Amino acid sequence: MKTLLIGEYREGKLLDSTYELLGFAGQLGAETAMLLVGSDSQLPACGGTLYLADASQCGEYNPDLHKQLILDAVQKENPDYVVFLHSSYGWDLAPRVAAKLRVAQVSEVIGLAEGGFEVGCCNAKMRRTVKPATPKAVITIQAGAFAPQQPGGNPSVQKVTASVMSNVTFTGYEPAEAKDVDLTRAEVIVTAGRGVGKKENVPVIAALAKALGGELGASRPVVDAGWVEHSHQVGTTGQTVSPKLYIACGVSGAIQHLAGMKKSDFIVAINKDKDAPIGEVADVLVVADVLQFVPALTAKL
């Protein structure tokens, strides 16, 4: 079995998540080749063929051109699977490639299943097994679902280029509004739920987040009450996050909240109710009053 992995490079850097593609291929037991629109000063540490296009010429994102580079590599490698990360890059590019190759696509794969792939559905509440029936398939993998694999070594680089007239003109980036926090990138999130009681108590939770080097999250009622900015909200109407550590303080665990955080690697719930539904997804539950427990915890860190 063979995979063509589509590496990711952004703002002059090879993204670490590229190694998650190798983790996926490793689990499949597949041979790999990679295509990267990046730079030869930022090569991934792995063996195998690397089709490398120069981002300074091809643009970090130029969909028609990148699609052509991928199609050219598919022609050479004849892979069973073309694998992207389910990032904004893969989101946009993968279906273009699938449509051009006229093959099935499976989006946001979280695991392997007998004869197919496991993916989330119904707002991540359910899972399903999906099987592509075309000889090739395009896959996107969910961020964080496959442990990164960094085999080391040097790829054998083949420089590639393509000339395609682009129909989309890139005119620039705008930074996200300054007040936006990008919780999706945070490794630690400490969330304040309604259980914190009032706005004046939010700094207690924020202090724990700071002590752990993380970001402050919030449940929806906390945002609706104006205690915390909306950009911190976790859940179906906020952000979907999957940090390494998620600490929910005084959050009951409503399904809309769980949908936004249950893929976190390790979940700690602090709640005075030992039967709060958050316990269903938490790895550990501390039954305590947040206003007593959290400051005590912060003080010990």
Partner 1 sequence: MLIVVCIKQVPDTTQVQIDPVTNTLVREGIPFIVNPYDTHALEEALRLKDRFGYRVAALSMGPPNAEATLKKALALGVDRAILLSDRVFGGADTLATSNVLAAAIRKLHDEFDRVGLVLCGKQTIDGDTAQVGPGIASRLNFRQLTLVDRIVNLDSVGRKIRVSRKLEGRHEIVETPLPAMLTVVRELNRPRYPKVPLRLAAAEATVEVWNNQVLKLDEQNIGLKGSPTWVSKIFSPERAKGEILGDGIAEPAAATRMLIDRLLSKDLLAL
Ligand X SMILES: Cc1cc2nc3c(=O)[nH]c(=O)nc-3n(C[C@H](O)[C@H](O)[C@H](O)COP(=O)(O)OP(=O)(O)OC[C@H]3O[C@@H](n4cnc5c(N)ncnc54)[C@H](O)[C@@H]3O)c2cc1C
The least CB distance from residue 291 to partner 1, in Å, is: 10
Q: Which of 138, 134, 62, 76 is nearest to 105 (CA)?
A: 138
CA–CA separation, 187 vs 243, rounded Å? 4
**Of 1, 16, 88, 121, the one binding ligand X by CB under 6 A:** 121
The least CB distance from residue 43 to partner 1, in Å, is: 22
- Indicate which of ligand X, partner 1, none lies near residue 217 (CB less than 5 to 8 Å, by partner kind): none
The least CB distance from residue 301 to partner 1, in Å, is: 7
Q: Which of residues 51-80 bind partner 1 (CB under 8 A)?
A: 61, 63
Q: Which of residues 180-239 bind ligand X (CB under 6 A)?
A: 193-195, 219-222, 233-238
Instruction: Give the DSSP per-residue string, 244-287.
Output: SEEEEES----HHHHHHHTT-SEEEEEES-TT-GGGGT-SEEEE
In the sheet with 137-141, reading across from the earlier edge strand, the strands are 116-121, 104-113, 137-141, 81-85, 2-6, 31-38, 49-54, 156-159
**Of 128, 158, 161, 229, the one binding partner 1 by CB under 8 A:** 128
User: Is 179 an interacting residue with respect to partner 1 (CB under 8 A)?
Assistant: no
User: Is 185 an interacting residue with respect to partner 1 (CB under 8 A)?
Assistant: yes
- With CB under 8 A as the contact rule, which of the stretches 49-57, 68-76, 218-226, 262-270 interacts with partner 1? 262-270
With b for 16 or more beta-carbon neighbours within 10 A and e for fewer, the 191-221 pattern comes to: bbbbbbeeeebbebbbbbbeebebbbbbbbe
> Under the rule (CB under 6 A), what is the footprint of ligand X?
106, 121-122, 128, 130, 193-195, 219-222, 233-238, 250-252, 254, 256-257, 260, 271-273, 276, 289-291
